[in-house]
Structure 1
Amino acid sequence: MPISKNFSQRLYPDLRSIAEHFGTPFHIYDEQGIRDTGLQLQQAFAQVKGFREYYAVKALPNPSILRIMADLGFGFDCSSIAELQLAREVGARGEDIMFTSNNTSPEEFIAAQAQGGCIVNLDDIGLIDKMPQMPEQVCFRYNPGTARSGNSIIGVPEEAKYGLTHEQIFVAFEKAQARGAKRFGLHTMLASNERNADYMVQTTQMLLELVAEVGAALNIEFDFINIGGGLGIPYHPDEKVFDVEQLGRETHALLQTFAAEHGYQPKLYMESGRYITGPHGVLVTQALNRKEIYRTYIGVDACMSALMRPGMYNAYHHIDVLDKASGPDDEVVDVVGSLCENNDKFAIQRALPPIVDGDLLIIHDTGAHGHAMGFNYNGKLRPQELLLKADGSVERIRRAETLDDYFATLRFEPEAWSAS
């Protein structure tokens, strides 16, 4: 859907000057909007004892953004050594970090348990014996298989590579106990960009039921449940926002019922990424060319390497043309980049105001899984990132890639091997 009115009012009056100063293309993020959404999430779960958001670093892995998350009191959900390092660079330590990887290497386990460790969330029962040292606190990721549905982005659970089966969960916690674990968590992640609060409430209920089963079987109490991320945002103008207040209210009721029945209440964690930053970023790109063949194509100076979602998922991202309003003169066009791929399109048969070379196009909702999913096919270089700060100033928070960056891995000391 269109970005918030507050974001556009903060950005659009100065956008041409910002573009002239920094050059295009660029992703720009709205600090105030991010903070407002973070506070809204916290307020929705204010009654839930022990609630904590672990921001999904993969959504927007930039230290300037992560410092905002740390300032809000959020932890960090990490899935690689690089993400662990990013979280630690902004001050995260110990239980501020949830490390959820899959097909995890020994090097990743060592990194996860360094610098005071973190909460290790194991994705596979086979990883228990591969950990160099079993931490005191351990979590397992649950995959309910056919018991639950997924969605088009993450797939149906029984086809997903993630998590342990219902039967494996019991064995896993028992094995972890035998290796010395004393504190336990249970995690799942079943859907991506889910806008139905009922689905996430059902996920909470599912985890609490399993916690009760495992607790009774193994005589353990759980420190926390983690209902994962996947809270969605409305990309289309006619879609509704996720009802986070409903999720907070109904989750609180479920936890209270659990506490009454079992004499304790596990803390509640989640790992939203897109919900926190997605609506608060845009990709700004300049029109370079107009091509008239069987369709009208508007070529811009960004390409799929700066925003993969439309080409990868056929995802819709709303587009504004700066200083031009939609009306009866709108033209139906494809907005395309310069990549040698036919799916290098930001919009397909989209009605937009007439566009001429030099116009600025604002592609909405790129604050998550935008720059982060960039790549270098065709030798294309990823763009810079900017932050519209709460005081109205704009700061570059990541420079654009250069040809020196691209060729850096081709410059190394020669090394070879041959059979003796």
Structure 2
Amino acid sequence: MPMSQAFKDRLFPVLEQITDHYGSPFHIYDEAGIRETGNQLKKAFAGIDRFREYYAVKALPNPKILAIMKDIGFGFDCSSIAELRLSRGAGGQGEDIMFTSNNTSEADFIEAAADGGSVLNLDDLNLLAKVPSLPELICFRYNPGAKRTGNEIIGTPVEAKYGVSDDQIIEAYRQAKSLGVKRFGIHTMLASNELNYEYMVQTSVMLLELIAEISAQLEITFEFINIGGGLGIPYKPGVAGLDLDAMGRDITALFKNFHRQHGYEPALYMESGRFITGPHGVLVTKAINRKDIYRTYVGVDASMSCLMRPGMYGAYHHIDVLGKDGKTAKEIVDVVGSLCENNDKFAIQRELPKIDDGDILVIHDTGAHGSAMGFNYNGNLRPKELLLTADGKVELIRRAEQVEDYFATLCFEQDLLEPAA
């Protein structure tokens, strides 16, 4: 279900005050909801000896949010220098951080090794030779190819650019061992926004069987398996959510069976982002124009630069109109922004309460891949971010971009090269 009733009960009574104070548009996140979901995840896997969530920083890269993750006990999954620095700024150190590489540069590897290092999750067998200094612990990202199917968001494994192929995976660990690596983990990421918990159970089966095979051949022990992220949330009303309790029960049973067969139990890691923060954020925007031509268009003061998922993926995000409920007259409209792009739409032919200029619209489920995927096409500026704290206060946690920010990269010392003829 989009946006929990508890979040609505905390936000809606004070939303007009918040909008008057901060102006619109803005993303606002619900600390209480984030903490509740984080603790539910920990509880679901409490039966496994060592479980840890590495929050996918890409989903919501804000220091205040990452500080909440650290306080819950989560680590951080990173894929860039900026994400590494954000995670360290939030208190992540050493094996609190997993650096999942993809076409990784030397500068990325140097940063991953800095300030106490990180767990290095290599995406390619060839990267072993490119790591400036191999750490004691190495993980490889596994791509099973035709042995598994993906889902429509992430695509089929055979077509994915990620991971070490099935026919390379044993050789990857053989080479790592020969180069002096002493500690090992394995990772995979095969689906995105997956609501069928059995898919994640099958992924656990796959990795546990694989580490048993690799261990038998190479006489190495695996410290952890990482089943990746991809836990889904139901964006549309009426869609059933992920059965987290059943997922935890079934995966825990797999780990206990592995322990009985092999005499030890690896840790279970995952890297959820959307599942932790997605439902606990909304984009708040005001209606500023109404246009009746071949369709009725409701123009708002946010644009696709605030939330690109509907325009990029055709993704559905539920919309509430503050103060207007089921008793309000309905109409079918497109809700649109100001970009010079026809896909700058938050809703297409959506039945909504009749919207007037000045109405506040609440676009659900923007707590992951919302602000993080913002951009500046047309010179549009990304909006501010707010946090509704657990004690009911509202805190600015990222200011809105300003025109001066947009022009900042045009201020530099002249650097002119005249190539030799």
* TM-score, structure 1 normalization: 0.99
State the shift of 1:2 in Å. Answer: 3.0
Which residue number corresponds to residue 92 of structure 1? 92
State the shift of 1:180 in Å. Answer: 1.2
Partner amino acid, structure 1, of 2:404? D
Which residue number corresponds to residue 135 of structure 1? 135
SS in 2 for 1:86: helix
Partner amino acid, structure 2, of 1:128? L
Which residue number corresponds to residue 350 of structure 2? 350
Which residue number corresponds to residue 264 of structure 1? 264
d(CA) in 1 for partners of 2:345, 2:284? 15
Is contact 2:184–2:222 with CA below 8 Å preserved after alignment? yes
Which residue number corresponds to residue 219 of structure 1? 219
SS in 2 for 1:167: coil
State the shift of 1:238 in Å. Answer: 1.3
Which residue number corresponds to residue 376 of structure 1? 376
State the shift of 1:419 in Å. Answer: 2.1
Listed one character per residue, the Cα deviations across residues 25-51 of structure 1 (whole Å, up to 9, x for unaligned) are 000000000000000001101111110
d(CA) in 1 for partners of 2:287, 2:124? 47
d(CA) in 2 for partners of 1:247, 1:138? 27
d(CA) in 2 for partners of 1:82, 1:2? 30
d(CA) in 2 for partners of 1:69, 1:179? 35
Which residue number corresponds to residue 156 of structure 1? 156
State the shift of 1:327 in Å. Answer: 4.1
d(CA) in 1 for partners of 2:389, 2:109? 36
SS in 1 for 2:325: coil
Partner amino acid, structure 1, of 2:243? D
Partner amino acid, structure 1, of 2:190? L
State the shift of 1:209 in Å. Answer: 0.6
SS in 2 for 1:99: strand
State the shift of 1:4 in Å. Answer: 0.5
SS in 2 for 1:95: helix
When the two structures are aligned, how many residues end up with a matched partner? 420
SS in 2 for 1:36: helix
Listed one character per residue, the Cα deviations across residues 93-135 of structure 1 (whole Å, up to 9, x for unaligned) are 0100000020000000000001111100000011000000111
Partner amino acid, structure 2, of 1:48? I
d(CA) in 2 for partners of 1:49, 1:404? 51
Judge which range, 273-282 or 327-336, deviates more. Answer: 327-336
d(CA) in 2 for partners of 1:71, 1:16? 31
d(CA) in 1 for partners of 2:393, 2:134? 47
d(CA) in 2 for partners of 1:353, 1:296? 13
d(CA) in 2 for partners of 1:57, 1:328? 40
Is contact 1:58–1:78 with CA below 8 Å preserved after alignment? yes
State the shift of 1:63 in Å. Answer: 0.3
State the shift of 1:326 in Å. Answer: 2.8
Which residue number corresponds to residue 307 of structure 1? 307
Is contact 1:48–1:248 with CA below 8 Å preserved after alignment? no
d(CA) in 1 for partners of 2:137, 2:326? 55
Matched, 1:119 2:98: no
SS in 1 for 2:287: strand
Is contact 2:328–2:354 with CA below 8 Å preserved after alignment? no
Which residue number corresponds to residue 415 of structure 1? 415
d(CA) in 2 for partners of 1:241, 1:10? 22
Partner amino acid, structure 1, of 2:296? T
Which residue number corresponds to residue 75 of structure 2? 75
d(CA) in 1 for partners of 2:366, 2:17? 21
SS in 2 for 1:103: coil
Matched, 1:321 2:321: yes
Partner amino acid, structure 1, of 2:294? Y
Is contact 1:258–1:265 with CA below 8 Å preserved after alignment? yes
State the shift of 1:19 in Å. Answer: 0.2
Partner amino acid, structure 2, of 1:78? C
Which residue number corresponds to residue 108 of structure 2? 108
Which residue number corresponds to residue 195 of structure 1? 195
d(CA) in 1 for partners of 2:6, 2:282? 14
Is contact 1:383–1:401 with CA below 8 Å preserved after alignment? yes
Which residue number corresponds to residue 231 of structure 2? 231
d(CA) in 2 for partners of 1:106, 1:67? 28
Listed one character per residue, the Cα deviations across residues 371-411 of structure 1 (whole Å, up to 9, x for unaligned) are 00000011000000000001101000000000110000011
Listed one character per residue, the Cα deviations across residues 41-98 of structure 1 (whole Å, up to 9, x for unaligned) are 0110111111000000000000000000000000000000000000000110010000
Partner amino acid, structure 2, of 1:375? F
Is contact 2:385–2:397 with CA below 8 Å preserved after alignment? yes
Partner amino acid, structure 2, of 1:209? E
Listed one character per residue, the Cα deviations across residues 151-206 of structure 1 (whole Å, up to 9, x for unaligned) are 11111110000001111111110111111110000000000000000000000000
Name the Cα RMSD after superposition: 0.7
Is contact 1:306–1:382 with CA below 8 Å preserved after alignment? yes
Listed one character per residue, the Cα deviations across residues 352-382 of structure 1 (whole Å, up to 9, x for unaligned) are 0000000000000000000000000110000
d(CA) in 2 for partners of 1:58, 1:41? 19
Is contact 1:326–1:352 with CA below 8 Å preserved after alignment? no
Which residue number corresponds to residue 404 of structure 1? 404
Matched, 1:394 2:382: no
Judge which range, 348-357 or 322-331, deviates more. Answer: 322-331
Listed one character per residue, the Cα deviations across residues 253-310 of structure 1 (whole Å, up to 9, x for unaligned) are 1011111111111100000000000000000000010000110000000000000100
State the shift of 1:328 in Å. Answer: 6.6
Which residue number corresponds to residue 175 of structure 2? 175
Q: Give the ranges of 4+ consecutive aligned residues of structure 1 lying more than 3 Å apart after TM superposition.
A: none
d(CA) in 2 for partners of 1:61, 1:419? 40
Partner amino acid, structure 2, of 1:413? E
* TM-score, structure 2 normalization: 0.99
